[in-house]
Chain A
Amino acid sequence: MSNLTAEETFVRLDNVTLEYQHEGQAVRAVEDVSLTVRRGEFVVVAGPSGCGKTTLLKVLAGLVVPGNGSASVGNVQVRGPQKNVGMAFQNPILLPWRKVMDNVLLPLEVVAPHKGRFRRHRSEYVAQARELLASVGLEGFDDRHPWQISGGQQQRASLCRALIHNPEILLLDEPFGALDAFTREELWQVLQALWMQRRFTVLLVTHDLREAVFLADTVYVMSTRPGRIVSRTAVDVPRPRTLEDTFSAQFTETYHEIRRQIGEVLGR
């Protein structure tokens, strides 16, 4: 980690430890986690389920405050909700009473500075949303209700909702975990294309290591609870990566390396 200079670092976690109360007992979710992310970097945190990956995202989004250590974005310490982040989860959680377009526009109704000008400049925002929807292959789906589109399409819309306010950081919590294998691989490519075009900073947590290697510039592996960072691996497979690349020697080597690290974490 020391090969990065301070200026390059955009997001950093310093010795973050976080406990929460469960049935009267303190459960340590993450322990002494430090990591740094450069602006525009695609970072994947991989680890077994229940290792506190989600907690890290919440710390970065400013939704929970770590008991020890600190998080900072752009050299400013995170103390409350970060308006420059977009989030998406395994469950697309679109609002069923809103059409796809209105779901995508939802963040603009609550986030500054857009919420003040949303009503007057609605058509402008709708145009942006259309463009974004088209870029994930949802052209012409504006007027559908969420239940009228497939799970993969819902997840695409959820991605658009996370990106509509042009956040600098995108936090993704196993976003493709509930999809079938083919849809998942397709969405890897959609996400990669979006990222290459817009160059936001991404933190994605997953337990799918092929996904991790396909998408990441850097993969951090976390241990079982309490979650600690056990390794950091740079993925040098050139972009844009294709599904064909997942069979290349370089890809499989990296994959095996990370799989081995996970194996050590799990003790098997």
Chain B
Amino acid sequence: MKRTSLLTEWLPPLVVIVSAFAIWEAGVALLRVPEFILPGPSAVWVALVKWREAIWFNASQTLYTTLVGFAMALAGGMGLGLAIGYSTLVYRALYPLLVAFNSVPKAAIVPVLVIWFGIGTVPAILTAFLISFFPIVVNVATGLATMEPELQDVLRSLGASKREIFMKVGIPRSLPYFFASLKVSVTLAFVGAVISETVAANKGIGYLMIAASSRFEVPLVFAGLIVVAAMGVALFAFFAVIEHRLTGWAYRGPALTV
């Protein structure tokens, strides 16, 4: 039983990915596309292996800026989300500003950050933070806002204070929303870090790709893209697993018996 379910789970995406690469390779070879326009997967693979040390060095820099920015977003987003969900006054006061702030494209902020902090690690961290904390705020606040009024009645009628209701019901209730936002916002943080690196950095996977493209090392550019995609998937998957482990009760599926 378990074998077949594993097979049905993993086989379809595997087939799709492998055939995509196969079509890409065959297309490039048949149409004789020059390598500096679109290299085939095999050429990308060669570049990956050849530049592995540079890729590793720059990828770990990007991972570092992403995670630091994301950690800041976690703390800030959770705090602000709880404050907004707890108090209607805070909600009314801050929400328009938050929405306005979120509407500003973060790529447009990078030059400002560069003026303030110079080229390098800090703008990447801050971009990652700025782009990723909004979904956390919104999700945590939503979790609190959707608390059943009857439940509040039950607790209030027993003399529970607002703080007690918040601690016993509000916070646990917002946790699935919080964890659901993590996998989305960590991917955003990663995007933010890479954007900042392509504009203003001297290391990081974004910087590596810009440097490679200015030297027409197109296979290396594509190798960078593949690494970026792989890292994004890994971060998403990591937080998806954490989400499922910690708030399994919110899913009510058979996976709970694991």
Question: For the complex, is A165 an interface residue (Cβ under 8 Å from B)?
Answer: yes
Interface magnitude class on chain B: 20 to 34
Q: Verify if A266 is at the interface (C-beta below 8 Å from B).
A: no
CA distance A139 to B169 in the complex (A): 26
- Most A CB contacts (10 A, CB to CB) among B150, B169, B175 go to B150
A95 adjacent to B155 (CB under 8 Å) = no
Among B159, B168, B175, point to the contact of A83 (Cβ < 8 A).
B159
Interface presence of B151 (CB below 8 A): yes
Select one of A87, A97, A147 contacting B154, CB under 8 A: A87
In the complex, the answer to whether B157 meets A110 with C-beta atoms within 8 Å is no
Q: Is the CB of A106 within 8 A of B159?
A: no
Contact between B172 and A63, CB atoms less than 8 A apart:
no
Mark each residue of chain B from 231 to 258: 1 if its CB lies under 8 Å from any CB of chain A, else 0.
0000000000000000101101000000
Question: If the complex has contacts A58-B153, A110-B164, are A81 and B249 also in contact, measured as CB distance less than 8 A?
Answer: no
- The answer on a CB contact under 8 Å between A83 and B249 is no
Q: A95-B172, A110-B164 are in contact. Are A81 and B154 (CB under 8 A)?
A: no
- Shortest B111–chain A CB gap in Å is 45
What total count of A-B pairs have CB within 8 Å?
Answer: 62
Q: Mark A87-113, 1 if CB is under 8 A from B, else 0.
A: 101010101110000000011011110
CB of A66 within 8 Å of the partner chain: no
Q: A132 near B: Cβ within 8 Å?
A: no
| 8 A Cβ contacts from B35-80 to A | none
Identify which of residues 131-173 in chain A touch chain B, using a CB-to-CB cut-off of 8 Å.
145, 147, 161-162, 165, 171
Q: For the complex, give the distance between the alpha carbons of A237 and B168 in Å.
A: 43
Q: Are B155 and A110 in contact (CB under 8 A)?
A: yes
Interface centre among A58, A62, A97 (most CB of B within 10 A): A97
Interface size on A, residues (CB 8 A): 27
Contact of B9 with A by CB under 8 A: no
The answer to whether the Cβ of A187 comes within 8 Å of any Cβ in the partner chain is: no
Chain B CB within 10 Å — which of A61, A96, A112 has the most? A96
Check if B160 is an interface residue, CB within 8 A of chain A. yes
* B153: contacting residue among A61, A109, A161, A165, CB under 8 A: A61
Given the known interface contacts A83-B158, A110-B168, A165-B158, the answer about A96 and B249 at a Cβ–Cβ threshold of 8 Å is yes
CB–CB B156/A81 < 8 A: yes
| Residues of B117-163 contacting chain A, CB below 8 A | 148, 150-151, 153-160
- Which residues from chain A contact B155 at a C-beta distance below 8 Å? 106-107, 110
Question: Are A110 and B151 CB-contacts (below 8 A) given A95-B169, A96-B249, A145-B249?
Answer: no
Cβ–Cβ < 8 Å partners of B169 in chain A: 95
Contact of B159 among A58, A112, A161 (CB under 8 A): A112
B158 proximity list for chain A (CB < 8 A): 81, 83, 107, 110-111, 165
Assuming A81-B156, A109-B168, is B150 touching A97 (CB within 8 A)?
Answer: no
Are B172 and A147 touching (Cβ within 8 A)? no
Q: Is the CB of B168 within 8 A of A89?
A: no
Closest Cβ of chain A to B93, distance in Å, is: 23
Which residue of chain A is the closest to B256 with respect to CB atoms? A145
8 Å CB contact of B148 from A93, A111, A171: A93
Does A82 sit at the interface, judged by CB under 8 A? Answer: yes
Asked whether A85 is an interface residue with its Cβ less than 8 Å from the other chain, the reply is yes
Nearest opposing residue in chain B for A114, CB measure: B158
* CB-based contact A93/B151 at 8 Å: yes
- Residues of B close to A96: CB separation below 8 A: 249-250, 252
A161 to B153 CA separation, bound complex (whole angstroms): 13
B150-A147 in contact (CB<8A): no
The 10 closest A-B pairs by CB, nearest first: A110-B160, A111-B158, A61-B157, A147-B252, A97-B249, A89-B150, A93-B151, A83-B159, A81-B159, A93-B148
Chain B interfacial positions (CB closer than 8 Å to A): 148, 150-151, 153-160, 164, 168-169, 172-173, 175, 247, 249-250, 252
Given contacts A83-B159, A96-B249, 19 further A-B contacts (CB under 8 A): A61-B153, A63-B157, A81-B157, A81-B158, A81-B159, A82-B157, A83-B157, A87-B157, A91-B148, A93-B148, A97-B175, A106-B168, A109-B168, A110-B160, A111-B158, A111-B159, A111-B160, A145-B249, A165-B158
- A contacts, CB < 8 Å to B: 58, 61-63, 81-83, 85, 87, 89, 91, 93, 95-97, 106-107, 109-112, 145, 147, 161-162, 165, 171
